[in-house]
Each structure stands twice: as C-alpha cells, then as structure tokens.
Amino acid sequence: MWEHLYSNIGLTSGHGFVESKPEGYSFTIIRNPFDRLVSCFYYLKAGGCHAGDAEDALKYDMTHNSFEEWLRLAYKNPDHYLEQQHVMPMMRRIGKREYFDHIGLFENLEEETKKLHSIIYDETLEEVPVINKSNHKHFRDCYTDETASIVADLYLEDIRLYISFLTQMWVKCGSLCIFSYCISEKPLWALQDLNL
C-alpha cells in the first residue's frame, strides 16, 4: 500500500534497516507482535505476493507446518527463522524510536494513513486501499499458552515497544478510558483489540 500511495516521493523500503535519523519526514507503523506474526505466517504460507515470498515459505518451513509447529521450530533456531524479512522482530529494523517523527499503530492504519497523506501531500485521502490482507482466524485463536510464551520470549523488545507506545496514549474502550498492562519478564501476550 505504501508503495502505491507514496512511490513518487522516494519512500524507503519497508524492509530496510534504519540506522540513523532519515532526512526529511520519517515515520514507521508498529503492530501488535502477536497479531503481526500470525498475519506474516499465513501470508507467506499462502505464497505471498512475490516469488521470493513463496520461496521463503519453503526455506523457513512454513509451507508444510502449522503455525504452532513453526513457532516451536523458530524457538529452537531463532537465528535462522527470524532472519526472514516479514517475521524479523520490528526492533531490529527500526532501531531507535527517536529516529522517527511519527510512530503509528497498525490497528489504526486507516486513520494513520490519512494523517500521513495529509502531512506529505497537504490533501485529504478519501479511501485507503487494502492490499495483501491475509486470510486466517483471529490471532488470539492461533495461540496456546505455550506458543504465546514462545512469542513473548522471541519478540520481547517488540512487545515492550508496543506496550510502551500504548501507555502513552489515551485508549477508549467503550466507556472506559484507562487501560493497563502488566509489564514483566513475560509480558501479557493477549493484547486487546483497540479502537483508537
């Protein structure tokens, strides 16, 4: 989607590594690590959108394994399995938070995209395209206590980033305006759906 909307302004690839503050306006979108991993797994397992995606699904043992089986493999050999560009922890790519002028939430992608479009083009974006949507059950239904614990270990820094970002925002859940998480060695994995 980003390439489609912003190809004419020199958008840096979403698969690149950020090692310093980029010139110009910089932004990144972060996502609930548990949701992101389920989506990435099923996207690759279905063959993705590019030839390299289908090749990676084979190379990283996604094609013939269930999500649960794949997580156990990744836990035994994270250096291999987490090098794949889609499942690599976000913190390896984005470096430091201060490198970015804006950090947005994937769970609020439509509004984030409209806001960024307004900043970049100084115009209103009426409709946000939906591209590369994977087909799977709700992410929470893909986890057992064991596999949630595996993800909490493998993606601890991503979870900390996500939780720290949420705690800086007012979150509205029906009539509730206060939202809390337990932050410990094993952070709460079942992060709630949010309407931001």
Query: Do 167 and 191 form a contact (C-beta atoms < 8 A)?
Result: no
Residue type for 141, please?
Answer: D
The pTM score is 0.75
In the chain, which residue ranges form alpha helices assigned H by DSSP?
2-6, 33-45, 51-59, 67-76, 78-81, 90-94, 109-121, 145-154, 156-167
| Per-residue pLDDT tens over the stretch 61-94 | 999 999 999 999 999 999 999 999 899 998 888 8
Q: What is the dihedral of CA 142, 145, 149, 152, to 10 degrees?
A: 50
Residue 109, Cβ neighbours under 10 Å: how many? 15
| Per-residue pLDDT tens over the stretch 143-182 | 999 999 999 999 999 998 888 877 766 444 433 333 333 3
